[in-house]
Amino acid sequence: MSVVSTIKDRCKACYSCVRQCPVKAIKVKVGQSMVVPERCISCGSCIKACSQNAKEVVTFVPQVEDYLKEGGAIALLAPSFPASIYPLDPGDFFNLLQEAGFNEVHELTIGVELTMPRYREYLAGRKEPAIGSHCAAVVNLIEKHFPDLIQYLIPIDSALMATAKLLRHRNKNCRLIFIGPCIAKKEEVLNSPEGIIDAVLTFKELKELLKDMWETKDVVPAPSFEKSYLPSTFPLTGGLVKNVDPRGNIYREDEVAVVEGKEECVQFLQKLQEGYIKHRLIDMLFCKGGCIDGPEIASDLDVFNRQYQVYQYSRSRKKENLGRLPKLQLDRSFSNKYQPLLSPSEEDIVRVLRYTNKNKPEDELNCGACGYNSCRDKAVAVCQGLAEIEMCLPYLLEQSRGELEYYKKRLKMSDEIKDYLVGDSPYIQGLRQTAIKLGQNDATLLILGESGVGKEVLARAVHMVSPRSEKPFIAINCAALPEQLIESELFGYEEGAFTGARKGGKPGKLDQARGGSLLLDEIAELPLSTQAKLLRVLQERAFERVGGTTAIRLSARIIAATNQDLNRLIGEGKFRSDLFYRLNVISVTVPALLHRKEDIPPLADHFLRELAAENKSPVKLIASEALALFAAYEWPGNVRELKNVIERAFYTADGNIIQVQHLPDYIRQLNGGRKIVRLTPMKKAVRNLEKDLIIKALKETNNNKVDAASMLGMPRATFYLKLKEYNIH
C-alpha cells in the first residue's frame, strides 16, 4: 500500500510532484496528480514539492492520542531528533515526551548497537557488493524498481525493527510508537508483521500534537547514560560505514561507497545493474545529508546546522545501559515488488508527439513544464497511461492563444456585422451568428427569401467575416442578363469567341471573384443550358472561358440566392434538381419584414444615418406616429421598400423630424394602425390559379397531357396553348 495520497481539491496540476518523483509513481488523470501505490517508494519527494499541501500521508495520530491517554506508550526516537527539536534542549524534549504520556523514551541507537555486530558478521569475507538496508526508501526503491539488485541488500533488520524487537521482548504488551522524519518508515511498519510497532509519528505530527506544551522549559536532568558517540551519527552521511567499521580496518577506502540523494541513488543502482560498481559496502541514504533531511523533519535549520545539532548531541550523549541483551532474531527478507510498465512502440510515441505539434526534433522544447525531462519521456508516459496529452504547456499556450485570437476575432466580427446586418429581432440576431459561423467554412450556400428581405446583405456579411474578406465579393443578377450574354459574363471569354468579342478576351465573374465570393442572385432565372454548365463547374471545381480550352480552377465561394420556390420550379422542369442539391449544401432563409417588425425602427434609423452621411446633413428622426404606421403596414417589398420610403421622406421633410405627411399615401391611409390589404389584380390571380391547376394535373397524371387536359375538362388544343403560354415544360 502507499502511505501518500492526493487531496483532490487542493491539487492544481502544477506537475511539481511529477517532476520531483524519482520513479514515475505519479499518474495524472483529468489534471489531478495521483500516487500509484505499486510504484511509490514513499520517499516523500512529492510532499516536499507540493506548494498546495495537496499530498496527504497516512496518519496514526488519533491512535497515538488514545495510547497516550491509556498509558503505557513507549517512544522510539529516530537519531535525527536533535535536528528537529532545535532550539529545544534534548533534556527538555525527553521531559516533554514524558509529560505528554510516554512512559519510556528510547533512541534507535539501541538498534544500531544491536545490528552492527550482525552486519560485521554478514559482511565478513563477502566479495559481492552489499547495500545497507536501514533506509526504508532505498529498500522500497530496490524492491519495486531494481528487483535484480535485491540480492545485494543486507538481510538484517533496520535499527528501528531491532529496537522494537528488543523492547517487545522485554514487555510484550507495551505500545511502541516510532517518532522520526521519514514517511517510508510508515510503509515499513505497515508492512511488518503485526504488533511489532504500533504506530509511527513524524516529527511534524509530534510537534502538532504537542504544540501547547512545546515551550516547556523546566530542566530535569536527563537520564544518566554512558557516553556513546557513534550510534547517534547513524542517520548522517556515511553513518553506516562509521558504525560498521569505525577504525577502518575492515574496508579500504575504495571498497566503500557512500551514496545519498534521490538522483544519485537511482543513478548508482543503474550503474550497479550494468555491472560498473566494484564497491563492497554501499551506504545508501535516500535523503541528501541523511535522515536529517527527511521529508517530515519539521526543522527551520539548514541541513548543515541540523548536522551540527546531531553531532553536538552525540558528543554529550551517554550510552544507554541495556543490561544483558537477549539473542534476538534479526534476519529479514525482501520481496520482488516490480510492476513493469508498458513499452510503447515508436509509432505510438511519434503519434503522441505529433498530437502536441512536435513534428520534428526542433519542435521538442524539452522545457520540463510537464514534469518530465523531455518531450519524448512525456510521450512515453502518455502511452503508459501515466501522463495526459494536455500536460504540454507550450502546446496549451499555443492552443489558448489560438482560442483567444478566435474569440477576439469573433467579438470584432459581431460588432462589425451588427452595423451591417441591422435588426434587433431574434431572427436577425440569429442570422448574424449564422453568418459568423458560415464565414468559417467554405460550403456552397443557398439564401432564400422574398424579394428585398436582405439576401444580398446576408451574402456580403458572410463574405465580410470569412477569411476571404480581403478578396473581392462579386454579385451577378442572373435575371438581369440576356440568355446569350449570361455565359460569357459568368465564365468570361477568349479573344474571337464570338462576333464582337473583345480583343484579348475578358475574364468572367467566376474569375473576378478569385479567392473571394460570388453571389449568383436570382439563380432561378438561369437558363437550363447554363444551369448544366454551372453544375459541372461546381462538381469539377474548374471552368473554361467561352471559346477557351484551358481549365481554370474555381477558387471563389459560390453563394446563390432566390426569391422563388425552387422545388416548384424543379417540378415545372425549370430548374435542375441536381444543381439544386449542389447549391443547397447549406440553406438559410431570411424572413419577410412582416414577421420581424421589431427590425423596422433600427433599420429606419440606420438608413437615416446613411442618408445624413451621404448628404452631409444633420440626422433626421422619425415621429412616433409615423413609426406606428410603419408597424401597421405589411411591407410586401420588405426592407427595400422600407429603405425607399425612408429615402423619400428624408428628402421631403424640411425639418429634423419625419412626420406622417412625409410618408406615401398608401401608408398614411392606414390611419391609426388599420391594416392595409393589398389584393392581387383579378386577371393575374386567375392566371396564377390556372397555371397552378395545370401543373397539379400534370403531376397527378404523371405528365400525361391528354389525361391532364381531360381531368381539367379542357379541350386538348387549349391545354397545349396554355402550356406554351405559361412556359410549362
Ligand X SMILES: Nc1ncnc2c1ncn2[C@@H]1O[C@H](COP(=O)(O)OP(=O)(O)OP(=O)(O)O)[C@@H](O)[C@H]1O
Please enumerate in sequence order all residues whose Cβ is within 8 A of that of 191, keeping only pairs 6 or more positions apart, or say none. Answer: none
Which residue, 408 or 568, is less far from ligand X as judged by CB? Answer: 568
CA 414 to CA 465: how far, in whole Å? 9
Backbone φ, ψ for residue 59 (5° rounding): -120, 145
Q: Which residue in the set 39, 306, 455, 533 belongs to the binding site for ligand X (CB under 6 A)?
A: 455
CB of 583 to ligand X, least distance (A): 16
Q: Which residue in the set 192, 228, 425, 451 belongs to the binding site for ligand X (CB under 6 A)?
A: 451
Q: Which residue in the set 107, 283, 521, 525 belongs to the binding site for ligand X (CB under 6 A)?
A: 521
Which residue, 44 or 454, is less far from ligand X as judged by CB? Answer: 454
Give me the amino acid identity at 464. M
CA 38 to CA 338: how far, in whole Å? 8
CB of 423 to ligand X, least distance (A): 5
Q: Among 485, 553, 481, 490, which Cα is nearest to 519's?
A: 490
Q: Which residue in the set 423, 505, 508, 516 belongs to the binding site for ligand X (CB under 6 A)?
A: 423
270 binds ligand X (CB under 6 A): no
Which residue, 177 or 649, is less far from ligand X as judged by CB? Answer: 649
Task: List the Cα angle 201/204/206 in 5-degree steps.
Answer: 50
CA 20 to CA 544: how far, in whole Å? 66
CB of 640 to ligand X, least distance (A): 4
Crossing angle of helices 528-540 and 483-491, in 10° steps, is 20
| Per-residue DSSP letter, 236 | B
Q: What number of chain residues touch ligand X (CB under 6 A)? A: 20
Which residue, 281 or 478, is less far from ligand X as judged by CB? Answer: 478
283 binds ligand X (CB under 6 A): no
Centroid of chain to Cα 109? 52
CA 476 to CA 513: how far, in whole Å? 11
Which residue, 410 or 606, is less far from ligand X as judged by CB? Answer: 606
Residues 574-613 that bind ligand X (CB under 6 A): 603, 606
640 binds ligand X (CB under 6 A): yes
Q: How long, in residues, is the chain?
A: 729
CB of 624 to ligand X, least distance (A): 22
CB 676 within 8 Å of CB 634 = yes
Which residue, 584 or 659, is less far from ligand X as judged by CB? Answer: 584
418 binds ligand X (CB under 6 A): no
Residue range at the interface with ligand X (CB under 6 A); choices 119-127, 241-249, 283-291, 455-463: 455-463
Show the cell assigned to 422.
Answer: 441591422
CB of 592 to ligand X, least distance (A): 10
Q: Among 2, 4, 27, 3, which Cα is nearest to 371's?
A: 27
Which residue, 295 or 449, is less far from ligand X as judged by CB? Answer: 449
CB of 479 to ligand X, least distance (A): 9
CB 519 within 8 Å of CB 475 = yes
Show the cell assigned to 212.
Answer: 501547547
Please enumerate in sequence order all residues whose Cβ is within 8 A of that of 579, keeping only pairs 6 or more positions apart, or say none. Answer: 531, 532, 534, 535, 538
CB of 472 to ligand X, least distance (A): 18
Q: Which residue in the set 421, 462, 579, 658 belongs to the binding site for ligand X (CB under 6 A)?
A: 421
Which residue, 514 or 640, is less far from ligand X as judged by CB? Answer: 640
639 binds ligand X (CB under 6 A): yes
Centroid of chain to Cα 639? 46
Q: Which residues of 153-182 are buried (b: 16+ CB within 10 A; e: fewer)?
A: bbebbbbbbbbbbbbbeeeeebbbbbbbbb
449 binds ligand X (CB under 6 A): yes
| Per-residue DSSP letter, 198 | -
Site track 296-315 with ligand X (rule: CB under 6 A), x = hit: --------------------
457 binds ligand X (CB under 6 A): yes
**CA distances (Å), 94 to each of 97, 217, 221, 233, in order?**
5, 11, 10, 19
Residue range at the interface with ligand X (CB under 6 A); choices 31-39, 82-90, 422-430, 616-624: 422-430
CB of 382 to ligand X, least distance (A): 50
Residue labelled with grid coordinates 428581405? 453
Q: Which residue in the set 422, 446, 524, 538 belongs to the binding site for ligand X (CB under 6 A)?
A: 422
Give the residue nearest to ligand X (CB): 454
**Number of CB atoms found within 10 A of residue 440's CB:** 14
CB 573 within 8 Å of CB 729 = yes
Residue range at the interface with ligand X (CB under 6 A); choices 332-340, 416-424, 697-705, 713-721: 416-424
Residues that bind ligand X (CB under 6 A): 421-423, 428, 449, 451-457, 521, 561, 563, 603, 606, 639-640, 643
